[in-house]
Chains A and B, each alone.
Chain A
Amino acid sequence: MTHPHSTVPNRSPNDNNARAARQEFTAFVLMTVLLCAAPLVAYPVFVMKALCFALFACAFNLLVGYVGLLSFGHAMFLGSAGYVSAHAAKVWGLPPELAILAGTASATLLGLGVGLLAIRRQGIYFSMTTLAFAQMVYFLALELPFTHGEDGIQAVPRGKFLGFFDLTNEMNLYIFVLAIFLGAFLFIRRIINSPFGEVLKAIRENERRAISLGYKVDQYKIMAFVLSAALAGLAGATKDIVFQLASLTDVHFAASGEVVLMTLLGGMGTLFGPVVGAFVIVATENYFAEVGDWVSIIQGVIFVICVLAFRKGVVGVIAEKLGWSL
């Protein structure tokens, strides 16, 4: 796969790293300012939905953009974590932080199980395997009693974060979601820039060489898969606390396709791409919601255009134009 790299000649690696870090920091500050101002101009609920999907796409991108593994079933982590956190908050009466933790933990476990099996196949088979497992999770969600089938888990209480921060207040909720998103985003950046992340990129570029250098490639892949699943779960759990609803939509394979589209449109293997992609796709969905079937047609068209002519994505192209690392 082609990934955008900004290599500046005649500079020492340390210089390059420092430059890249400065550029990423600038972009991060810009993003944070925009997100803090966003609820003043847009509906907070819309921005929160976009933030949850942005986190979901970032988690997905960790796998496809930095390890080269295209999972076509990431909705299983989004959806299952949503169900568990909704169940925990509503039936067990847990406070939101514990409910979200429970959801994230369940997605982590599911990620470990599926990851152990799925990484046994490579390339295109990996994608098909993850898709099939996601479909299995979908059928389980349809049939298990605690998910309430077509109805989903409704009227999930938002509760008070740590017992005093009232999440029923929309502004508080927005701060809560934004904090989770920014925290997770920085965590993902930390993973990518760590020695562990460097090995992941080495596997993406040349798996055989990584093996011959003595890296236990499978362990790295599983670790990345579990991290990605956990973060996708965090997104799903947060989303269901915000919308007070866990439903089949989030485990359906259409959601798996959407996250692929968000990442592809924003730029696979770029730090900020998935965020941009998620905001664009959620906005188009909101805009075209009344005309129903056009949403999937438009998404299909975006897919085709991105794959044929725009493989670097929005952020990939911007990064290339500026010579920045984003």
Chain B
Amino acid sequence: MLHLIGISSQALFGQLLIGLINGSFYALLSLGLAVIFGMLNIVNFAHGAFYMMGAFCSYFLLQYAGLNYWWALVLSPLAVGVFGMIMQRFLLQRLAALDPIYGLLLTFGLALIIQGLFRQHYGASGLPYPIPAQLTGARNLGFMILPNYRAWVILASLTICLATWYAIERTKLGAYLRAATENPTMVQAFGINVPRMITLTYGFGVALAAFAGVMAAPIYNVSPQMGAELIIVVFAVVVIGGMGSIMGSIVTGFALGIVEGLTKVFYPEASNTIVFVVMAIVLLIRPSGLFGRSA
């Protein structure tokens, strides 16, 4: 049926797959933004830089320590998360009482510094990172060929997203977190160390970005600017979904990845702008976002 409108199923499913991959990254990044926004009430502009640091971290681990992809998958988010926590403790915390705009400006400045330093040392062009040996190759599904690594990326990010949702919405720790989002003073009065919780939450959101970076390393090259443009699309995703809901960011992330993939098949000229067009439409119809409570 598809060939009637001049599109091969190979092309369609191929682009759908790429869409799902992009969607995985959108979901992981917007999830991290939502978690951080919930607790700290700031938009983390440095999120793209942390994503890039995650990718670079795995590159360093391989080059200088000989630690492979699977080590990087654990160690990079940890390292970048700790870096994020230090930043939060010493810089962001000073802005806690101020207008959230200052948090945005500070993280923007930090992103400029981090990306600039990496560009200074490693140049603008990308560094290659190999696909782990266990995940090379592809399997034929009949209607399309599915590279193993890409299947892994989708599965892994879906798992992490759902685990995060479960941890926040269904566990006791998550209940503390949600309570502290609603009323930090009250939760503090119950003897819970809210400032530490805020730091850990920031670290966790940053670690999610770094995790996405590690998974992106073998697909795209490791490059200083890899997160700079991506973060703007993720902002649009966040505006579309609204940051009020964890599940909302996950669903919106994947859905927009797929929409982008489909646009590449049917109207490739618009594939760069489609997310922003969707954003405009959502702003017209549901200004608070698909899953958002009114701001």
Name the contact of A297 in the complex, choosing from B102, B120, B279, B284 (C-beta under 8 A): B120
Distance between Cα atoms of A170 and B117 in the complex (Å): 38
- What DSSP secondary structure best describes chain A's contact surface? helix
Instruction: Kindly report which residue of chain B lies nearest to residue A1, judged by CB atoms.
Output: B99
Interface 0/1 of A1-41, CB less than 8 Å to B: 11000000000000000000000000000000000000000
Residues in B with CB closer than 8 Å to A303 are 105-106, 108-110, 112
Residues in A with CB closer than 8 Å to B113 are 296-297, 300-301, 304
Q: A70-B104, A135-B233 are in contact. Are A120 and B109 (CB under 8 A)?
A: no
Name the contact of B111 in the complex, choosing from A133, A295, A300, A301 (C-beta under 8 A): A300
**How far in angstroms is the closest Cβ of chain A from B166?**
27
Q: A1-B101, A132-B276 are in contact. Are A297 and B112 (CB under 8 A)?
A: yes
- What DSSP secondary structure best describes chain B's contact surface? helix
Judged by a CB distance under 8 angstroms, whether A209 is at the interface is: no
**How far in angstroms is the closest Cβ of chain A from B249?**
13
Contact between chains at B280 and A117 (CB < 8 Å): yes
Classify chain A: how many residues form its interface, as a range. 35 or more
Residues in A with CB closer than 8 Å to B295 are 121-123, 125
Judged by a CB distance under 8 angstroms, whether B91 is at the interface is: yes
Instruction: Kindly report which residue of chain A lies nearest to residue B235, judged by CB atoms.
Output: A128
Distance between Cα atoms of A294 and B113 in the complex (Å): 9
Contact between chains at A257 and B100 (CB < 8 Å): no
Contact between chains at A308 and B117 (CB < 8 Å): no
Residue count of chain B within 8 Å CB distance of chain A: 46
Judged by a CB distance under 8 angstroms, whether B186 is at the interface is: no
Distance between Cα atoms of A148 and B108 in the complex (Å): 30
Contact between chains at B238 and A128 (CB < 8 Å): yes
Residues in A with CB closer than 8 Å to B164 are none
Instruction: Kindly report which residue of chain B lies nearest to residue A133, judged by CB atoms.
Output: B276
Q: A300-B111, A304-B91, A307-B106 are in contact. Are A128 and B116 (CB under 8 A)?
A: no
Judged by a CB distance under 8 angstroms, whether B196 is at the interface is: no
Residues in B with CB closer than 8 Å to A257 are 108, 112
Contact between chains at A308 and B91 (CB < 8 Å): yes
- For B105, B111, B236, B280, which residue has the most chain A Cβ atoms within 10 angstroms? B105
Residues in A with CB closer than 8 Å to B95 are 307-308
**How far in angstroms is the closest Cβ of chain A from B109?**
3
Judged by a CB distance under 8 angstroms, whether A74 is at the interface is: no
**How far in angstroms is the closest Cβ of chain B from A151?**
19
Contact between chains at B99 and A300 (CB < 8 Å): no
Contact between chains at A264 and B105 (CB < 8 Å): yes
Restricting to B209-248, which residues have a CB under 8 Å from any CB of A?
A: 229, 232-233, 235-236, 238-239
**How far in angstroms is the closest Cβ of chain A from B181?**
15
Distance between Cα atoms of A304 and B235 in the complex (Å): 21
Residues in A with CB closer than 8 Å to B115 are 296
Residues in B with CB closer than 8 Å to A146 are none
Q: List 17 A-B contacts (CB under 8 A).
A: A1-B98, A124-B37, A127-B43, A127-B101, A132-B236, A136-B276, A139-B273, A142-B272, A296-B113, A297-B112, A300-B109, A300-B110, A300-B113, A303-B106, A307-B106, A307-B109, A308-B94
- Partner-B contacts on A (CB < 8 A): 1-2, 70, 72, 117-118, 120-125, 127-129, 131-133, 135-136, 139-140, 142-143, 253, 257, 260, 264, 293-297, 299-304, 306-308, 311
